[in-house]
Chains A and B, each alone.
Chain A
Amino acid sequence: MTVDVVNYVSLSAVVFFIGVAGVVVRRNPLIMLMSIELMLNAANLALVAFSRAWVNNAGHVFVFLVITVAAAEAAIGLAIVVAVFRNARTVDVDEVARLRG
């Protein structure tokens, strides 16, 4: 029984859906952002595994790009959390419903 691409991709899928569950279930924006990081990392793991299987560097460069986007997304998401918290004084996304139609 050897470790193959399918092991890595299954692990990636499990972690991705743990992240999905985190975004769906939790209402704290900080933990939702962390769950998004979990999902991005799971996608990265799948990219690196396939990249290794095909001995092709393009997947590594794509992971590099995804890490950059994740850093930008975390910075902007946390800035939004800070800006919302200054006005609303709460960190529950269900109570920040001023823009609800």
Chain B
Amino acid sequence: MIAFYVLAIVLISSAVFTITQKSPVYSVVGLLVNFVALATLYFTLNAEFLGVIQLVVYSGAILMLFVFVIALLSSGIGPLPEGPNRLPHVVGPALLAVLACFGFLMFGALHAPVIPALVQNAAIGTVGSANVFGSIGNFGVALFTTQLLPFEITAFILMVAVVGVVAIAGDAVPQGTHGRHLRRKRSKDREPIIKAGR
């Protein structure tokens, strides 16, 4: 119980830290703390495989992507220019909208049908033991038998993402008239991502 409240405080404060920092690098650090706290919350909910996935995929892969893009964007031009501070203009309406949405959500939550309590029973067991709810074996059986189609759609989503990223940000352009025209125009006003060794 103490663990939940400590983790909740860490989760909320790191989320606020993330969206209030001026520099994106500090935001990434806040987000890292947020993800680690969330992974620990997953462990408290008997979802050990998801906790590990959260650490590996989010903290390991996605945050590194953010860090690399920040480093890439600010390389060679010094610190990024900061636009005018618009926070005073939008903070009132934004707070109002957020509070209204939150009020609706709490209203819905208070009128929700009854939800079973988080009781401990034999099917759930302790976190870390084999063949209980949320263990890797249990999750794997569900993933490869009853929920196989979502798992295969996952592969398709990742494929689309890879193709999309290369199409949007890759330097190579397809051959052909359109491609050649595009390449000449692009190579003039664009700096290469990786400079060729000299």
B117 contacts which of A1, A5, A35 (Cβ < 8 Å)? A5
State which residues 51-85 of A face B: CB under 8 Å.
Answer: 51-55, 57-58, 60-65, 67-76, 78-83, 85
Nearest CB in chain A: distance from B88 CB, A: 11
Contacts of B105 on A, CB cut-off 8 Å? 13
Complex: chain B residue closest to A85, CB-CB: B73
Please state if A54 and B116 are interface contacts (CB–CB under 8 Å).
yes
State which residues 155-171 of B face A: CB under 8 Å.
Answer: 157-158, 160-162, 164-165, 168-169
State which residues 168-197 of B face A: CB under 8 Å.
Answer: 168-169, 189-191
Please state if A34 and B45 are interface contacts (CB–CB under 8 Å).
no
Contacts of A72 on B, CB cut-off 8 Å? 157-158, 160-161
A interface residues (Cβ-Cβ under 8 A, vs B): 1-11, 13-15, 17-22, 24-28, 30-31, 33-35, 37-38, 41, 44-45, 48-55, 57-58, 60-65, 67-76, 78-83, 85-87, 90-92, 94-95
Among all A-B residue pairs, the 4 with the closest Cβ atoms: A22-B19, A72-B161, A79-B169, A57-B142
